Each structure stands twice: as C-alpha cells, then as structure tokens.
Amino acid sequence: MFHSRRIFLVSFLGALSSLVFGADIPRPVTEFAMQMPNGSKTLLSTYRGKPIVFAFIQTTCPHCQKATQMLTKLQQEYGPRGVQFLACAFNDDANVALPSFLMQYKPTFPIGWSNRDAVFSFLQISMMKPGYVPKFIFVDKSGTIRGQHDGDSSFFSNEEQNTRNMLDEMLKGSGKPKS
C-alpha cells in the first residue's frame, strides 16, 4: 500500500513540475489541430517527416508580427530544403483577426488559429505561468521536439540567428540542438 502511494506521489509530482516549470525537451511531438481561415482544419501530423518550425502567436503582438515576417524570410531559404514553417494564433479573437493579419503580413506558410487551452496543453505549459509570445517549437524529422522557446527567453534576443542555428542543426541530423 505504501509503495503504490509513493509511486502515485512521484508520478503526480513529475506531472505537476512539467506544468509549473515547463515541458521536457526533447519529447515526442503530439497531434495538434488548428483551424484555417478557409474553414478547414490542419493537423500537425500532415507534416510528419519534415523539420518543423511552429510559432504560436497573438495577432495583435508587435513581436509576433515581426516574428511572422522573419519566418516568412526564412521560409524562402529553408522551405526548399524541406523545412515546414507553421504558425497558430491563439488570442481570444484570432478567428476574426487572422484574415486581416494574413493580408497585412503576407506569410508564405500556413497560419491558422486555435484556442488558448489547446495551445497550452500542446506546449505542456501551465495556464498559471503563461509566459510571453511568440512561442517557438522546433520538431525534427523523426517527430521529436528539440527546442521550445517562450518569447521572454534569451533565444529571442537574436531570434533569426538562433532559428537558423536550430534549423542547421536539425538539417545536419545531429539530433541534439540546444533547447
């Protein structure tokens, strides 16, 4: 009896720490669905086998707008090398704001929307400690999340170069870029 309680407590504390302190890296990517402006749904698994840069944004955030422009630029360079760029808006009015955001910033990669709960669950972060946007994840060809960065992390002090470094590492196949 005591042993089973200890196992439960250890499992519970492990799950709780991931919610409070952030997600484990590396970890297998899970399925994620986002609504597209045309009414269709896009599944992350559609891009299985490709390196992926997935940004979670707010349409009204100036930093997210700048990140979208940077990712559009990198998509021109890395897209032909097999990298898939995606973004998901998750502000409360994302479904309404996204069409004008797309017209203004003209991304060359798919951007959809989802709700905050689904995004936080996918990212394995707590609603109690939401952090800043944008949020980037990097998924390698094997479907492993190799990096996850919140908008207030040092990664965003030079996000273009750091994104390039992550992509170059994933494309080399070393499998161990820094998170």
State the Cα–Cα distance between residues 101 and 106, nearest whole angstrom: 8
Domain count for the chain, please give it: 1
State the Cα–Cα distance between residues 59 and 113, nearest whole angstrom: 10
Residue 3 placed within a domain: no
Angle, vertex CA 161, rays to CA 159 and CA 165, nearest 5 = 110
The reported pLDDT for the residue numbered 22 is 61
The reported pLDDT for the residue numbered 4 is 43
Residue 64 placed within a domain: yes
Residue 90 placed within a domain: yes
Residue 13 placed within a domain: no
Residue 57 placed within a domain: yes
The reported pLDDT for the residue numbered 173 is 64
Residue 35 placed within a domain: yes
The reported pLDDT for the residue numbered 129 is 80
Low-confidence ranges of the chain (pLDDT < 50): 2-21, 174-179
170 C-beta neighbours (distance < 10 Å), count: 25
Per the structure, the complete domain to which residue 106 belongs is given by 22-172
- Where residue 68 sits, what CATH number does that domain have? 3.40.30.10
The reported pLDDT for the residue numbered 23 is 77
The reported pLDDT for the residue numbered 163 is 98
State the Cα–Cα distance between residues 166 and 161, nearest whole angstrom: 9
Residue 2 placed within a domain: no
Containing 65, the helix (H) or strand (E) segment is helix 62-78
Contact by Cβ (8 Å): 135, 149: yes
Q: For the sheet with 144-149, list strands across it.
A: 27-28, 144-149, 135-139, 52-57, 84-89, 111-113, 33-35, 41-43
Residue 85 placed within a domain: yes
Beta strand segments in the chain, E: 27-28, 33-35, 41-43, 52-57, 84-89, 111-113, 135-139, 144-149
